[in-house]
Structure formats: C-alpha cells, structure tokens
Amino acid sequence: MNIKEHVQHWLDGADHDWDTACSLFLSEKYDWCLFLGHLVLEKTLKALYIQDNNNQLPPKTHNLIKLVRHTNLTLTEDQENFLDEVSDFNQEARYPQYKYEFYKKCDKEFTEHYYHKIEEMKIWLKSQIK
C-alpha cells in the first residue's frame, strides 16, 4: 500500500469503530462504547503515525501518548492528559481485574462526557492528516 492507502485503511477502521461506539452509547453499553472510543483514537493516531513516518507500520501499542510521541503532533497539556485518561479505557475494559470497576464507573454521565470529548479529539486528529 502507498502512504495514502495505508492512512485511509486506518481511518476507515476508526470510522467503523466510531459508528459502533455510537450504537453502543445509544444502547447504553457504556463501558464498551468507551473501549471502542479508545480504539477510534488509537487507529486515527496510527494513521498519523504512518503519515509522519514515511509509511512505516505503527508500533503495536494501545498507549495513545506513546503513539503521539512518534508523530509530528503538538498537544496541549489538556489534550495530553485527556489521551492519557482514555488510554486507561483500553486496559480497564479488557482485563478481569479492572473490568467490573470500569463497568461501574461508566454510567451515562461519565460516558457522555468522554464520548463527546473523544468525538472532538477524533475530529481534530483527522484535521491533522494531509
């Protein structure tokens, strides 16, 4: 794949996951909505990684901050803190020792807050793709 196709591959995956996250939010499956929200940002950052690293495969990491550090992005402190928080959703939704606590934390108010912020971040990250 050339760079443009490779970037689009990751963006298509992020768009698909965002559609699913929206459905999960509407069906009140809040923990999984936020888990997929994390994947949306991860895949969008991997598209940016490919763009900024001459079509190299992105690292196999779910840590959003680690991905950002390998791109040309400049984040505000608030953006960096937000991505650090969202990185936790990946671990908290997947592993049994964290899963139930995360499920309890993900009420409508908590999820709605992050759902909208994830959407804003997704839009901004996509705007950074040339």
Q: What is the mean pLDDT of residues 25-30?
A: 98
Q: What is the pLDDT of residue 94?
A: 76
Q: Which residues contact 76 (CB under 8 A, 6 or more apart)?
A: none
Q: Is 100 exposed, middle or buried (0-12, 13-18, 19+ CB in 10 A)?
A: exposed
- Mean of pLDDT over the chain: 95
Task: Identify which of 40, 56, 62 has the alpha carbon closest to the alpha carbon of residue 125.
Answer: 40
Rounded-to-integer distance, Cα 81 and Cα 63, Å? 12
Query: Does residue 5 surpass a pLDDT of 90?
Result: yes
Ordered by where they begin, the domains of the chain are 3-127 (1.20.120.330)
Rounded-to-integer distance, Cα 56 and Cα 62, Å? 17
Global pTM reads 0.95
Whether 45 contacts 80, CB under 8 Å: no
Rounded-to-integer distance, Cα 116 and Cα 69, Å? 24
- The two three-digit tokens of residue 16, written as one number: 């698909």
pLDDT per position as a tens digit, 55-110:
999 999 999 999 999 999 999 999 999 999 999 998 766 778 888 889 999 999 99
